[in-house]
Amino acid sequence: MDLLFAVTELFPYVKVGGLADVAAALPKALRAAGHRVTIVAPKLPAYEEAGLLLARRLTPISFLWNGTKVAVTAYDGRLSSQVDLLLLDLPATLPGNLIYGDASAGTAAFFALFSRAVAEVAKVRAAGGAAVDAVHVHDWPTALVPTFLRALKAEEPALAKTKSVLTIHNAAHQGIFPKAALKQIGIDAKLFDPKGIEFHGRLNFLKLGVLHADAVTTVSATYARELLTEEGGFGLQSVFLEAASKTSAILNGIDYAVWNPATDSAIAVRYDAEDASAKGRCKAAIQKELGLVQGQDLPLFGFVGRLVAQKGVDLIYAMLPKLLARTEAQFVFAGEGEDVFADALTALAKKHPTRVAFLRGASEAQVHRIFAGADFALVPSRHEPCGLVQQYAARYGALPVAHRAGGLVDTVVDCDAALETGTGFLFAPCETEALHSATDRALAAFVSPRFADVRRRIMRLDRSWDRSARRYERVYSA
């Protein structure tokens, strides 16, 4: 098949969250399976700053936009995975945040223009006799692509074979903008309707994408069910229910070429599931690197993620005083986010410099070293569509302590008391005391003779993209 991937993040060049990892790894797996894959993304300085070779097309991509002809400069590149890359330099400025802008009409116009340009790429290929089989878009920034494809199919009959697929990575972010932006986003004003893009008097990009996409996917089976609830649907539960017949749940995988302790050059010593003894040396190395007391008998917990309430970082902070007082456990935090959490963790690390470490803006290499050295990974997210942290942690032999939500339920099996089954420690409800109880269970497991067996078990799990890529193939070709 010939596939287009429209994304806003792409590891290792532009990354805010797990979408960047998926945007790199899934196309790589599909390319390895024999498909032609082209990733389309907005052109940002990070690509060239990283040394990626790009070739500017002599002919820009031209089309009518809000009654005016616009020209989008296109740059071609190729990733080491042999996946093609097409970067679009839009004749528009993104206000606010470098990657996702703000909640203004200018941001709405920017991503609508990007989506229209992606649809035009598909149209040009179809007109040239090489129509793509599917355009796979991700979350609200590209959710208008299916709408533009629908409109262009009337102009270019060869586009009829091209299917639009929308993956919902996190429905908490929907692309909601003021009604005034309607004149700037290039869609028919008739779509400002309760059965269209209208949402409580405003625009909702994700809503229209779900309604107009030929197929919708979510990133875990549990999350697919949560989207149908008032709490998990974030106001769009009726829309998700309407789209249920065209929705598939496909679990995210991880790229074993990137996340593999047997080949990882970022960690102190390499190891694998069959002989994880060297993990102890990785633990000693990260303890030394971060100024923590060194000792193999000191349980080390790691938290890697955004410092926001959704990730449950406040729950960890609330339970730490008791744990620091009555145990010898150590804690490493890595992430960026809200200042209130960053300031609190900074103060805690200063107060307990040999027990608590906080890395704001940790490098990818440091994150790998944290997983390699940690005994446990804290993942107390209030909601987690899929989650990659718990999968990365398991790959490196760090047992997840996770909330029973979304993809965490689908990727972590709660350990029994004897540690004969299970791959981590689940808790509910999402409250400090429940997290504290699960952490106590993890600490009890740490001193059990069976702990090494559990570690070996989780490292043997198959979390590669192969199975998920085959499921996406079926969605594209259905």
User: Which domain CATH number covers 325?
Assistant: 3.40.50.2000
Indicate if 345 and 306 belong to the same structural domain. Answer: yes
* Burial class (CB within 10 angstroms; exposed 0-12, middle 13-18, buried 19+) of 352: middle
Q: Given this model, what pLDDT does residue 25 score? A: 97
Total domains in the fold of the chain: 2
Tokens of 21: 């990892």
Q: Which residues of 155-170 are buried (b: 16+ CB within 10 A; e: fewer)?
A: ebebbeebbbbbbbbb
Q: Are residues 369 and 473 in the same domain?
A: no
Query: What average pLDDT score do residues 38-52 get?
Result: 95
Asked whether residue 273 is domain-assigned, the answer is no
Model confidence pLDDT, tens digit, residues 380-413: 999 999 999 999 999 999 999 999 999 999 999 9
Establish if 357 belongs to a structural domain. yes
**pLDDT at residue 468, as a whole number:** 96
- One domain for residues 455 and 471: no
Percent of the chain residues past pLDDT 70, beyond the cut: 100
pLDDT recorded at residue 96? 87
pLDDT reported for residue 268? 97
Note whether residue 267 is domain-resident. no
Mean of the per-residue pLDDT values for the chain?
96
In a domain, 310, yes or no: yes
Residues 413 and 450 in one domain: yes
76 and 139 housed in the same domain: yes
pLDDT of residue 357: 98
End-to-end CA distance of the chain: 12
Q: Are residues 327 and 199 in the same domain?
A: no
Q: What is the pLDDT of residue 361?
A: 86
Q: For residue 225, tell me if it sits in a domain.
A: yes
Give the pLDDT mean for 414-427: 97
Whether residue 272 is contained in a domain is answered as no
pLDDT digits (tens, 9 = 90+) for 109-145: 999 999 999 999 999 999 999 999 999 999 999 999 9
Domain range for 151 is 2-253+466-477
Question: What pLDDT score does 8 carry?
Answer: 97
Pair (297, 351) in one structural domain: yes
Mean pLDDT for the stretch of residues 40-46: 96
- Whole-model pTM over 0.85: yes
> Are residues 245 and 292 part of one domain?
no
- Mean pLDDT, residues 309-333 taken together: 96
**Residue 312: which of 368, 373, 391, 389 has the closest Cα?**
389
Residues 296 and 358 in one domain: yes
% the chain with pLDDT above 90: 99
Whether residues 234 and 303 fall in one domain: no
**3-state SS, one letter per residue, for 11-30:** CCCECCCHHHHHHHHHHHHH
Same domain for 448 and 330?
yes
What pLDDT sits at residue 185?
97
Does residue 121 sit in the same domain as residue 248? yes
Alpha carbon distance 27, 255 (integer Å): 11
pLDDT tens profile 298-308: 999 999 999 99
